[in-house]
Chain A
Amino acid sequence: METLLDPLSYAFFQKGLIVAALSGALLGFIGVYIVLRGMSYIGHGLSHAIFGGFAAMQLFAAQLYIVGAGLWGIASALAITNVARRSRLGADAAIGVITTASFALGVALFARFGTSGPAFDNALFGSILGITNSQILWLVLVTLFTVGVVFVRYRALMFTTFDPEVANVSGVKTGRTEALLMIMLSLAILVTLTVIGVTLVAAMLVIPAVIARMLTDSFARMLIISTIAGTFSGLAGMYLSYYAEVPSGTMIVLVGAVLFIIVLAATGARGLRRSAGMDSHAPRPTREVVS
């Protein structure tokens, strides 16, 4: 019990715990849509793209970093969606170019104008130090926004994820729905970036969702289980991070990975069968079937 209570005597840890739990929950929640749409790679790329905006705003207007990096992230997300849907060059290659270029820009800006130190490392690997009340507020607002959108657009999001073409001709504005999802994703990455870290955010989008998929065949239950798995990873990872004195993001992801292994061992072939083919909804260029 002391192990659990001792770190709570520090204000920074209390804030870190709240942010880690909320971050895990948020990424686990939205990760269901990302994983089922085969967009894990986009999540990974987007986190790197946002780093460019984060770096630029840290240097030129640090107080406004969340606004600037948010706009940068949303623009990147929409560009990525567009490229993934329409590119003739190959979505993976195009996304790779866009996102790594943005990441490289961030690194270059830091190297040329910034001071290498905690801010840079924190953005890459996450840190529980220096979390401000405004960061917590932003995280709460984005979480409420995401849950609210999923609540009112639950079926439209599920339909667009399962069968986008039929959803489109059945009255769902799939373009708008996908854009909304990408905005939610970029905002989620942005507000969790400082705790999880840009290099590890994608893992927390994927791992809880895959764990949940292995445990259930129900979409609604998958959302709930993924959120719980993300929350648990955040909480346990924070404590381990505190005691092991390593960046919070790494421990949060490692806890998720251990959970994944446990669930895989417990569910065996059934879990593998359930999680098979989760990349089969990757955004593809406009269909050219001419039968």
Chain B
Amino acid sequence: MVSAMSAPLISLRQVDAGYRDSTVLHDVNLSVSQDSFTGIVGPSGAGKTTLLRLLLGALKPQRGVIDRSGSVPVSYVPQLETVDWNFPATVEECVLMSRSARWVPWTSKAERLEVAAVLERLSIGDLAGRHIRELSGGQQQRMFLARALIRQPKLLLLDEPTSGVDISTRHDVLHLLADLHADGMGIVLTTHDLNGIAAHLPHLVCVNHRVVAEGSPEQVITPDVLEETFGARMDVLQHLGLLVVVDPSSPNPLAG
């Protein structure tokens, strides 16, 4: 259970899910609400993205039930490499794709102002007219966020939002997500970055084809849970009040 403070927006009960005849996730029970600020962690191939797609409604469960609270406005931020950044579009055009119900092709003044405000909030206000190929990785991530936020979602799902960005951008994205959560938006993201992201989130779900454990970082970032999740023994240290995961078998022992 992610939060006891507000009613769940989406609940998965005894859900199995996968693709065609293979099952990737087994017997998943999970709820997310507007209070959620949750990281889904696990190794590659563990079913993190599959879980996100279940929450999103892009994948139907093979077994079990998914309850949704009415028509929940959910926005999704995919991994950067899922699109062709050479596509002929500006940042503003990309952000406005989310407003696809409009029956005329041109952009209204109100829409333009709205896009400008969202881009400004994400510190890319000066890039509205820029072609998307000309953006850095961090700016591309922000543009995706802008496209998601312009739909004013109650729940924001992000797939590896800090993958391929530098440390400074990772901090910025994390702070931005914290701000959005403080404004009342539920946040669920996948990450493989235990030290850089997961340890900073208030709630984690460890996944390895099933939910291995969930709770606060102090509850789930333990050698036993990490071994069950990642299949390898890792040490956990405390440093300046933060949990630090160390992989003793790695040449670079800081995991993630």
B100 touches A167 (CB 8 A): yes
- The answer to whether the Cβ of A151 comes within 8 Å of any Cβ in the partner chain is yes
Most buried by B among A151, A167, A170, A288: A170
Known: A290-B50, A291-B49. Contact between A219 and B88, CB under 8 A?
Answer: yes
Which of chain B's residues 137-170 have a Cβ closer than 8 Å to chain A? 147, 151, 160
Q: Report the Cα distance A213→B104, complex, angstroms.
A: 23
Residue of B nearest to A160 (CB): B100
- The answer to whether the Cβ of B223 comes within 8 Å of any Cβ in the partner chain is no
A291 touches B86 (CB 8 A): no
Name B19's contact: one of A36, A151, A213, A288 (CB within 8 Å): A288
Q: Report the Cα distance A268→B122, complex, angstroms.
A: 35
Q: Report the Cα distance A33→B239, complex, angstroms.
A: 54
In the assembled complex, the CB of B1 is this many whole angstroms from the nearest CB of chain A, namely: 24
In the assembled complex, the CB of B88 is this many whole angstroms from the nearest CB of chain A, namely: 5
Known: A155-B97, A155-B100. Contact between A166 and B78, CB under 8 A?
Answer: yes
Q: Which residues of B contact A278 (CB under 8 A)?
A: 84, 86
Number of A-B contacts (CB under 8 A): 108
- The answer to whether the Cβ of A1 comes within 8 Å of any Cβ in the partner chain is no
Name B76's contact: one of A161, A169, A220, A291 (CB within 8 Å): A169
Q: Report the Cα distance A163→B82, complex, angstroms.
A: 8
In the assembled complex, the CB of B143 is this many whole angstroms from the nearest CB of chain A, namely: 12
Q: Which residues of B contact A14 (CB under 8 A)?
A: none
Q: Interface with A: B40-48, B196-204, B243-251, which one?
A: B40-48
Contact with A along B56-96 (1 / 0, CB 8 A): 11100000000000000011101000111011111001101
Q: Which residues of A contact B84 (CB under 8 A)?
A: 162, 277-278, 280-281
Q: Which residues of B contact A158 (CB under 8 A)?
A: 89, 93, 97
Name A171's contact: one of B46, B83, B101, B160 (CB within 8 Å): B101
Name B88's contact: one of A165, A218, A273, A290 (CB within 8 Å): A218
Interface residue count on the B side (C-beta < 8 Å): 44
A217 touches B131 (CB 8 A): yes
Contact with B along A25-55 (1 / 0, CB 8 A): 0000000000010000000000000000000
- The answer to whether the Cβ of B102 comes within 8 Å of any Cβ in the partner chain is yes
Q: Report the Cα distance A154→B107, complex, angstroms.
A: 11
Q: Report the Cα distance A291→B50, complex, angstroms.
A: 7
- The answer to whether the Cβ of A222 comes within 8 Å of any Cβ in the partner chain is yes
A216 touches B88 (CB 8 A): yes
Interface size class of A (residues with CB under 8 A): 35 or more
Known: A162-B97, A170-B100, A218-B88. Contact between A155 and B83, CB under 8 A?
Answer: no
Q: Which residues of B contact A274 (CB under 8 A)?
A: 86, 88
Q: Which residues of A contact B20 (CB under 8 A)?
A: 286, 288
Q: Report the Cα distance A183→B90, complex, angstroms.
A: 28
In the assembled complex, the CB of B79 is this many whole angstroms from the nearest CB of chain A, namely: 9
Known: A36-B88, A165-B82, A168-B58. Contact between A286 and B19, CB under 8 A?
Answer: yes
- The answer to whether the Cβ of B98 comes within 8 Å of any Cβ in the partner chain is yes
Q: Which chain B residues have a beta carbon within 8 Å of chain A's beta carbons?
A: 18-20, 24, 44-50, 56-58, 74-76, 78, 82-84, 86-90, 93-94, 96-105, 131, 133, 147, 151, 160, 190
Q: Which chain A residues have a beta carbon within 8 Å of chain B's beta carbons?
A: 36, 150-152, 154-156, 158-159, 161-163, 165-172, 213, 216-220, 222, 273-274, 276-278, 280-281, 286-291
Q: List the 7 shortest-distance A-B pairs measured between CB atoms, nearest first.
A: A154-B105, A159-B97, A155-B100, A156-B100, A280-B84, A217-B131, A277-B86
Q: Can you list 9 A-B pairs, Cβ within 8 angstroms, ordered by A?
A: A152-B103, A155-B102, A158-B89, A159-B97, A167-B97, A290-B18, A290-B19, A290-B50, A291-B44
Besides A163-B83, A216-B88, A217-B131, 7 more A-B contacts (Cβ < 8 Å) are A159-B98, A162-B84, A162-B94, A170-B76, A217-B90, A281-B87, A291-B160
